Amino acid sequence: MRKIKEVIVVEGRYDKNTIAQVVDAHVVTLEGFAVFHDQEKLAFLRRLAGERGLILLTDSDGAGFVIRNYLKGALPKEQVKQAYIPDVQGKERRKRRPGREGKLGVEGMRPQVLLSALERAGATFLDEEDAAPPKMREPITKADLYALGLTGGPDSAARRRALMKRLNLPEHLTANGLLEALNLLYDRETLQQAAQEADL
């Protein structure tokens, strides 16, 4: 499976599941139109764009383009690549009926179609010889979160909220979402220092 440097941004969790079967990449979901009212999520996306770069991959229907156009105006253009899927009529297997425009979304695309869309967008494939090697750092693990009292304890949720506030991360991240965000943006030492400063 080919590894991509940039963070891929998709509309929802089914899109994320599909992408995870095609490439090895970090994928962030927007939860559809919810991103319009979520300043924390926007700030998070801006940070990821600066750190790793983003690839925006929305559905090809009208709603997908409304979301795409909103993010085009909200994120730095030079840090965001645009990936487009073709218009294909049909419906996803999990749905009873097709969407309003009758088009397949990201989750309904064949793997090769998605890979081609990412290649055309200019994704940085880390398995290519001329690609810069990724920054190697020891990953933050669930055991680290547990050791800091961020999971598995009676006040873990409150401690996670305090840490996320300290690190300017979206407050609605789950424990797994927090772990993913920490590994994208921080190293172990920074996490431990932030935890101390947040009085955890």
- Mean pLDDT, rounded, for 104-116: 93
Pick the range with the lowest mean pLDDT from 26-35, 87-96, 127-136: 127-136
Q: Indicate whether 53 and 117 sit together in one domain.
A: yes
Establish if 133 belongs to a structural domain.
Answer: no
Establish if 146 belongs to a structural domain.
Answer: yes
pLDDT digits (tens, 9 = 90+) for 16-63: 999 999 999 999 999 889 999 999 999 999 999 999 999 999 998 999
**How many Cβ atoms from other residues are within 10 Å of residue 107's Cβ?**
21
Q: Indicate whether 30 and 62 sit together in one domain.
A: yes
Q: Indicate whether 109 and 45 sit together in one domain.
A: yes
Q: What is the Cα gyration radius of the chain? A: 18
To which residue do tokens 């969790």 refer? 13
pTM, two decimal places: 0.76
Please give the residue that has the higher pLDDT: either 56 or 175. Answer: 56
Boundaries of domain holding 148? 142-197
Last residue of a domain, one of 90, 121, 152: 121
To which residue do tokens 């139109």 refer? 33
Establish if 1 belongs to a structural domain.
Answer: no
Separation between Cα atoms, residue 70 and residue 141, nearest integer Å:
34
